[in-house]
């Protein structure tokens, strides 16, 4: 385990990494609340849908995101592009119950088990009859709260056990388990910010996450 001082040093060394990881979830759960356009009753030609979402980050810089919903394979893929034109990816594999995070310009992936709230919100993407292809959100229509995400660096995932969509996303790089933490510690490395838009669709009750280091 890292000491308090060691954790601070480690944080400085990897600051750029966690800044990239921060952008990863910035708009994902906006999409889960807003992008509810797809139905299982659609013809095969419409089973793959793309919805685009634009919103400011906490500093007011624009962040753009696209959500690709693959109904046939029960996959939802979010691509988040930062103002520096770096793209991170979040893949929801509903069939197997995984969320996989791939930060921009990083070899590592981060794996998390889906919870019931994740299933409820992702499934809403397949069930609502409405359809809107682009959302433009303003800063005064967002809100945040905090949750902590610990990265278990000593708990590597056997990538051969992963299904093809996750293997393709991680491209042979290391995959680490993550888990929720009750509170921040000296091992917390950075923040993952998720923005919600109030009054628009069914919103997930998670908004701001921090990535931590534990089990080292």
Cβ–Cβ < 8 Å for 157, 188: no
- For residue 193, how far is the Cα from the chain centroid? 9
- CA–CA dist 28, 203 (Å, integer): 11
- CA–CA dist 68, 49 (Å, integer): 6
- What are the tens digits of pLDDT across the range 100-121? 988 888 888 888 898 888 888 7
Q: How many domains does the structure of the chain reveal?
A: 1
Q: Which of 19-23, 104-108, 131-135, 174-178 has the lowest mean pLDDT?
A: 19-23
Tokens of 30: 């906006």
- CA–CA dist 151, 24 (Å, integer): 15
pTM: 0.66
- According to DSSP, the β-strands at 196-197 and 134-136 are unpaired
Range of the domain at 135: 4-214
- What are the tens digits of pLDDT across the range 14-44? 433 443 344 344 445 444 444 443 333 444 4
> Which phi and psi angles does 198 have, rounded to 5°?
-75, 145
């Amino acid at each position: 385990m890292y000491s308090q001082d060691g954790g601070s040093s480690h944080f400085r060394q990897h600051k750029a990494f966690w800044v990239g990881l921060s952008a990863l979830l910035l708009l994902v759960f906006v999409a889960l609340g807003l992008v509810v356009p797809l139905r299982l009753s659609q013809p095969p030609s419409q089973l793959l849908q793309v919805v685009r979402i634009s919103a400011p980050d906490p500093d007011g810089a624009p962040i753009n995101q696209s959500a690709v919903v693959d109904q046939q394979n029960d996959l939802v893929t979010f691509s988040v592009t930062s103002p520096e034109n770096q793209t991170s990816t979040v893949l929801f594999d509903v069939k197997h119950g995984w969320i996989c995070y791939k930060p921009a310009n990083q070899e590592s992936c981060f794996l998390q088990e889906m919870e019931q709230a994740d299933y409820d919100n992702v499934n809403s993407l397949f069930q609502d009859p409405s359809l809107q292809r682009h959302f433009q959100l303003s800063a005064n229509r967002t809100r945040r709260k905090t949750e902590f995400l610990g990265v278990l660096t000593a708990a590597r995932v056997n990538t051969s056990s992963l299904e093809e969509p996750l293997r393709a996303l991680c491209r042979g790089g290391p995959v680490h388990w993550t888990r929720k933490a009750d509170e921040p510690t000296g091992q917390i490395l950075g923040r993952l910010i998720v923005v919600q838009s109030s009054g628009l669709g069914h919103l997930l009750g998670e908004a701001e996450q921090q990535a931590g280091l534990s089990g080292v």
